[in-house]
Amino acid sequence: MKIATWNVNSLKVRLPHVLDWLSLHQPDALCLQELKLEDKNFPLAEIEAAGYHAAFSGQKTYNGVAILSKQPLQDVSAGIPGYEDDQKRVLSATLNGVRLVCVYIPNGQSVDSGKYQYKLGWLEALAVWLKSEVARYPKLALLGDYNVAPEDRDVHDPKAWEGQVLCSEPEREAFRVLQKIGLQDCFRLFPQAEGAFTWWDYRMNAFRRKLGLRIDHILLSDALASDCVSCVVDMEPRKLERPSDHAPVIAEISHAGETH
């Protein structure tokens, strides 16, 4: 089973890239973030024409998440139960016995911002909820844009980013809390190339200069992590004309989610 995540920064603008990418990589599931469109404008016909089902939770201008899948999704659910939030940032669904949770974790803007406080509260609510979800679904994958670079090696210039939003200690601690409830960062289960980041600023030629951060992740419960055979960042779409500022992350899990 091949599962992936990609912050597309406007599904309307990036639809051609997404369709090309699906055709090339044929993932069993692709989680998308920052759709930036209302559900009534979701390009369902184009996605279905590409051979994929879709569940989505969108809103005007900001946020918005979707899960695309080759096989139909079951038990689709939006948001974190019991956590009031107008921002569409979470979508869950089951695919052949694997619980997929697609997240667009708040950016936080800066550590002295009210949005940063919202981010930390949001992460706490996510961890509380996921603890029970992992118990309920032993095979659970948490995929998305976390807006957290977990360690210094996930940052091109750790000194410059020290204490800044995306890299601050409270955010990194929140990431470790997710790991403590049994979710493993499968990217780190394998040797990785230098400069394998997932986001590069649009400005200052950041991509060409390799000035990136790894903030998009796939975390797997123990039952999935033990069967994970690869996890890579695909930087190719970042080289295209009018790219998303994020690159997709792909994990492959042997045996999981196969129909028999």
Partner DNA sequence: ATGGCTTCATAGTGAAGA
Catalytic, out of 28, 52, 104, 216: 104
What is d(CA 90, CA 78) in angstroms, rounded to the nearest whole number? 6
Nearest distance from C-beta of residue 221 to DNA, angstroms: 25
Contact indicator for 139, 42 with CB cutoff of 8 Å: no
Which residue in the set 77, 94, 107, 230 belongs to the binding site for DNA (CB under 7 A)?
A: 107
Residue 145 annotated in active site? yes
Near DNA in 137-196, by CB under 7 A: 145, 147, 165-166
Which residue in the set 28, 154, 185, 245 belongs to the binding site for DNA (CB under 7 A)?
A: 245
Residue 137 annotated in active site? no
Phi, psi of 259 (to 5 degrees): -85, 135
- Short-list 206, 118, 29, 177, CA closest to 185: 177
Judged by DSSP in three states, 204 sits in helix
7 binds DNA (CB under 7 A): yes
| CA dihedral angle for residue 248, residue 254, residue 256, residue 258, rounded to 10 degrees | 100
- Measured CA to CA in angstroms, residue 43 lies from 15, 35, 175 at distances of 8, 10, 33
Candidate segments 135-143, 172-180, 186-194, 198-206, binder of DNA by CB under 7 A: 198-206
Which residue in the set 23, 26, 71, 110 belongs to the binding site for DNA (CB under 7 A)?
A: 110
- Short-list 46, 45, 84, 93, CA closest to 65: 93
Catalytic, out of 28, 52, 116, 145: 145
Which residue in the set 28, 34, 171, 252 belongs to the binding site for DNA (CB under 7 A)?
A: 34
Which residues in this chain contact DNA in the complex, by CB under 7 A?
A: 7, 9-10, 12-13, 34, 36-37, 60-62, 106-107, 109-110, 115, 145, 147, 165-166, 199, 201-204, 213, 215, 242, 245-246
The residues carrying an active-site annotation are 104, 145
